Amino acid sequence: MRKIPNHGTLRMTKVAYPLGLCLGLFIYVVYIKWHRASATQAFFTIAGAASGARWGQQARNSLGSAIRGHEVFYGIMFDAGSTGTRVHVFQFAQPPGETPTLTHETFKALKPGLSAYADDVEKSAQGIQELLDVAKQEIPFDFWKVTPLVLKATAGLRLLPGEKAHKLLQKVKEVFKASPFLVGDDCVSIMNGTDEGVSAWITVNFLTGSLKTPGRSSVGMLDLGGGSTQITFLPRVEGTLQASPPGHLTALQMFNRTYKLYSYSYLGLGLMSARLAILGGVEGKPVKDGKDLVSPCLSPSFKGEWEHAEITYRISGQKAGSLYELCASRVSEVLRNKVHRTEEVKHVDFYAFSYYYDLAASVGLIDAEKGGSLVVGDFEIAAKYVCRTLETQPHSSPFVCMDLTYITLLLQEFGFPRDKVLKLTRKIDNVETSWALGAIFHYIDSLNREKSPALK
């Protein structure tokens, strides 16, 4: 039997208590102190995840001066995109002296996007609450009050008139304030397009190990959403930096390093907005007199309706010659002088997400579940094949010729040669490749630099 050291006898009014009771009380006191210390450290860690929020003086006073120990903490990020609202519930662990590690993610998406409720903001609350319930199920009760809750809206709300977007965000904020989670004054906001691209770049480079391994080559990021498209990479050639137009370069501090990134978000060139432009429509404006939008990118015999941003359009194809050639000509008109081309993209490894993935999977270029790699020219081959078949027979999606042709020419405008390999994936190490994870990491790193002047 292991000998238990004698630390004296606990006495109260000169009454001696049994050894078993003493040990029980000792263990209970240790547990209470440990639990309180852990809660304080966890609160310090995750309160910093919502950078810039004002949590109140009482909360500030309870924060520790540094992150100590191997802590578990959570963060909730809502991605309010143009076609859907998604919640990411992240669980992290942070070993002493190391960067945080993602240990688990829960993801759920709902359609339509938040912008679809622009004229009836009350209806938006139901979906937000449903996603909040997901977070409640995934996060232990004891962590609710110290888990930051943030919503970032992207292109869908950026395209709305300012007053409508403001009312939607205010409604979401009301729902957030009524939740049991930690919310700040800036818990909901519209995300800058460049920040969206940079955060997605952080995500993919963290998951591929580039940010953890100094000197390892980083990878580029291509994202094609409904309302906007982003391209972000770390230039290695001085000429790229010198030739970049204003607004295409941004500085990023992460993990005690500074990165000068090439990053730009093209509002209006997301797939859904591009469809409308190719059809000849104008964002947010119904067609006068209910006339059809006619396009050479649709099957000649097609007639139907398409809803975009709560407006229903009547659309139809037109009889003509080669569908692909005519469609490519129209797409070229839409893209003309709108995209900056860089030579360096030829030499950087790129991951492509969102509609790049969806379109490639829909025509069998990659596995629908696992993703895969392809060359840029594969999109062109698929586009020509599908457009040719549409000339004589219908397809399950009337837009497949248009969408594939658009992606083909968009990548060429960026400067990608036809033999350039792209990696298409929804997940890396079973983690969604969205900007949400990168945004959380950026918040945590910013907090660390604020608390540790040596890291600035």
**Annotated binding-site positions for ATP:** 226-230
CB atoms within 10 A of CB 423: 19
CB atoms within 10 A of CB 288: 6
Comparing CA positions, the residue from 387, 359, 381 lying closest to residue 300 is: 387
- The one catalytic residue in 196, 344, 380, 413 is 196
Comparing CA positions, the residue from 309, 334, 278 lying closest to residue 160 is: 309
Q: What are phi and psi for residue 314, nearest 5 degrees?
A: -90, 125
Residues flagged as binding site: 226-230
Query: How many Å from the N-terminal Cα to the C-terminal Cα in the chain?
Result: 53
In this structure, the strands spanning 220-224 and 350-354 are parallel
Spatial distance between the Cα atoms of 174 and 36, rounded to a whole number of angstroms: 30
CB atoms within 10 A of CB 163: 9
Comparing CA positions, the residue from 404, 401, 380 lying closest to residue 298 is: 401
DSSP track, 296-316: TTS-TT-EEEEEETTEEEEEE
Q: Which residues contact 85 (CB under 8 A, 6 or more apart)?
A: 78, 79, 109, 110, 113, 114, 127, 128, 131
Would the CA dihedral through 383, 361, 105, 158 be positive or negative? positive
Q: 381 to each of 237, 320, 387, 410, 438, how far by Cα in Å? A: 32, 21, 10, 15, 34
> Three-state SS string across 24-51, please?
HHHHHHHHHHHHHHHHHHHHHHHHCCCC
Q: Is 196 a catalytic residue?
A: yes
Comparing CA positions, the residue from 359, 394, 355, 354 lying closest to residue 380 is: 359
Task: Name beta bridge partners: 91.
Answer: 74, 104
What token pair was written down for 216?
Answer: 């390892």
Residues identified as active-site: 196
